[in-house]
């Protein structure tokens, strides 16, 4: 295994660990009612996730996720979804 493959593997694993950790912290923040903080975490969580997935797909030979605008748009949609979930949860309480 070459050094670049090993480095890529480690970076993807670390990105996924960070992504899942941020998701857990975001869930706790939602339960505690800290909406803005949870929405910001959701945005960064999505950026990390999309970058990790894009790295995997680009290494497979696909070029359809090469645009950074895809990462930003996916992150923004995750942020909107988090905001909507928090609004619905506050209405239920």
CB atoms within 10 A of CB 46: 24
Domain that holds residue 55: 3-92
Average pLDDT over the chain, rounded to an integer: 74
This prediction has a pTM of 0.60
Quickly list DSSP for 63-80: -TT--HHHHHHHHHHHHH
Counting the structural domains of the chain, the total is 1
Mean pLDDT across the stretch 25-41? 92
pLDDT of residue 3: 77
Q: What is d(CA 52, CA 91) in angstroms, rounded to the nearest whole number? A: 35
* DSSP classification of residue 62: -
pLDDT of residue 78: 64
Q: Between these two residues, 20 and 89, which has the higher pLDDT value?
A: 20
């Amino acid at each position: 295994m070459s050094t670049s493959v090993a480095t890529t593997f480690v970076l993807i694993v670390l990105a996924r660990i960070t992504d899942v950790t941020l998701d857990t912290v975001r869930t706790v923040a939602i339960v505690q009612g800290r909406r803005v903080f949870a929405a910001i975490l959701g945005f960064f969580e999505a950026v990390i996730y999309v970058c990790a997935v894009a790295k995997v797909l680009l290494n497979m030979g696909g070029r359809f996720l090469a645009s950074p605008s895809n990462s930003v748009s996916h992150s923004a949609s995750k942020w909107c979804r988090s905001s909507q979930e928090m609004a619905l949860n506050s209405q239920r309480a």
